[in-house]
Amino acid sequence: MKKIRHLDDNQIVEAAIDEIGLDGLLRRHLSECTACRAQKEELQAGLARFAEFSRGEIPLDFRKPKLAAEKSGGGMVNVWRIHPVLSLCAALSVLVLFLTPIVINRDKIFTKRVVYREMLQDEKFMAEVRNLEDDPLPGFYVDISGPGSHKPNVESAKPGAKNDVRPAPKVGLRNA
Amino acid sequence: MNLTEELELKVSLRDGHISALVEKARGGDRDAFEKLIALHQDEIFRLVFFRTRSKIDSEDLTQDIFLSVFKYLPQLKDSDRFRPWLYRIALNRVHDFHRKNKFLAYFGFTESREDADAADIEPHRNPGALDTVIRKEFWSHVKRLTERFSRMEKEVFLLRFIDDLNLREIALTLHRSESAIKTHLYRAIRKFKEDTTLSEFLQGEWQGEKDKTS
C-alpha cells in the first residue's frame, strides 16, 4: 500500500477551505493522521475565533429597517384620471386665482412709477422757474428790452466794458 | 415583531420556506416581505457594519438596501437565489457609500470611513476602559490584515467568515466561479495564517474569556 507523507501547509489551508475537494489519498490521510487533523483544526479554530470576536463587535440595538407605509391618496389620482376635463378646469381656475393678484399689483406698480416720474419732471420745471425769478436777466438784456424804460448806462454800453457780455471787437494787426 | 417571534419565524422559515416567502413578496404581499426583512436584517446590518464601522451609517444603509430589494424584487428570476442576490445589492450599496465618501473626503466635506482605524468606531457594547483598549487593538489587527488582502480576497474572506456564506453563495454573490472563489479564499487564509500577532491576540482573548467563565 502506498504510504503518503503528512499534508504540507498549503494542503492544510486547502483542507480548511473545502475538505471534500481534496484528493482522495490526502483526504484519507487527513482522516487517519491526528497530527494533520490537529493542524487543520487549529487553523479552523483560529478563523472561528476571528469570526466570533468580529461578531461580538456588531451592535445589537440597531434601528430595524422598515417598509414605507402604503401611499394614501390613490383615490385622488383616480379622480384625475377619470375626469381629465374637470381637472383641467380646476387647475386653470387655481392658476387664474393665483396669477390675478400678481397682474393687478404689477399694474399698480407701473402706474406709481409713471406718476412719480411726472412729479419729478414737474419739480424740475418749477425749480427752473424759481431760478429765473430769483436771477433776473443780465443788465444788457434789461437795457435792450424796451426803449426809454431808463437811461442807458454809457459805461456798460461800451463794447468790451466790465458788465458788457458782448464780445470785444477784434483788433487786427493791420489797424495797429 | 419581538425577539421570540423573530426566532420562531427564523426556525419555521428555514431553507425552502424562504423561496415561498420570496414568491409571495414578488406578488406584492407586504406581510411576506416584512417577514423576509425580519429574517435577514441582522445579517445585512452585520455585513454593512463590518464594512463601514459606523452604526448610524449602517442603519441608514440597511434601510436603503431593503428599499432597493422591495423595488427590484419582481426582477429576481430565481427565488432560490434570493440570499446571494440580497448580498449582492448590499455589497453594491456599501461600495457606493465608500465611493461617495471618498469623493466628499477628497474635497474636505467629510472624513473617509473606509480606512478608519479603531479610534473612530463608536462604543456600543462594552463601555469599560479595558474593553475599549482590546477593541481598538482588535480593529487595528483587522485593519493591518485586510490591508494585505486584495479587494477580492478581502471580500471573499469577510463573506465566508463574518457573513457565514458558503462557497456557492459567495460565487453567486460575486458573479465568479467557485474555483475562483476558492483561490481567493486560499490566498486570504494564507495571509491570515502568516499574521501571527492577530492569531496570538485572538488566542489570548479567547483564553481570557475562558478563564473568566470558569
Residue B8: its pLDDT value, please?
Answer: 57
CATH number of the domain at B64, please. Answer: 1.10.1740.10
SS3 call for A137: coil
Give the pLDDT confidence of A75-111 residue by residue, as tens digits: 455 556 667 788 888 889 988 888 887 777 777 777 8
Q: Which residue from A43, A49, A63 is facing B193, i.e. has the nearest CB?
A: A43
pLDDT category at A123 given cuts 50, 70, 90 is: very high
Sign of the alpha-carbon torsion through B149, B155, B161, B165: negative
Question: What is the model's pTM?
Answer: 0.64
Tell me whether residue B23 is in a domain. Answer: yes
Q: Please give the tally of structural domains in chain B.
A: 2
Phi-psi label, residue A4: left if phi above 0, alpha if psi -120 to 50, beta otherwise: beta
Residues 6+ away with beta carbon under 8 Å from A115: none
Task: Kindly tell me if the per-residue pLDDT of A25 is higher than 90.
Answer: no
Q: For A121-142, give one letter per residue: b (16+ CB within 10 A) or e.
A: eeeeeeeeeeeeeeeeeeebee
pLDDT at A133: 81
pLDDT tens track for B62-85? 999 999 999 999 888 888 889 999
Measure CB to CB from residue B189 to each of A13, A57, A63 and give the nearest one. A13
What does the pLDDT average to over B169-179?
A: 94
Q: Do B138 and A21 touch (CB under 8 A)?
A: no
What is the 3-state secondary structure of B7-73? HHHHHHCCCHHHHHHHHHHHCCCHHHHHHHHHHHHHHHHHHHHHHHCCHHHHHHHHHHHHHHHHHHH
Residue A35 touches chain B, beta carbons under 8 Å? no
Do B30 and B68 share a domain, yes or no?
yes
In this prediction, residues B186-205 reach a mean pLDDT of 87
Q: Give a yes or no: residue B121 inside a domain.
A: no
Name the residue facing A17 among B34, B62, B185 (closest C-beta): B185
Residue A134 in contact with partner chain B when CB distance is under 8 A: no
- Note whether A85 contacts B: Cβ–Cβ < 8 A: no
The answer to whether the beta carbons of residues B151 and A2 sit under 8 Å apart is no
Report ipTM (2 d.p.).
Answer: 0.79
Cell triple for residue B147?
Answer: 490591508
Statement to judge: residues B54 and B94 lie in one domain: yes
Same domain? For B206 and B135 the reply is yes
Asked whether the beta carbons of B93 and B65 are under 8 A apart, the reply is yes
By residue range, what is the domain housing residue B97?
1-115
Residue B152 has pLDDT above 90, yes or no: yes
Percent of chain B scoring above 70 in pLDDT: 78
* Boundary-marking domain end, from B115, B150, B168: B115
Q: Which chain A residues are Cβ-neighbours of B198 within 8 angstroms?
A: 50
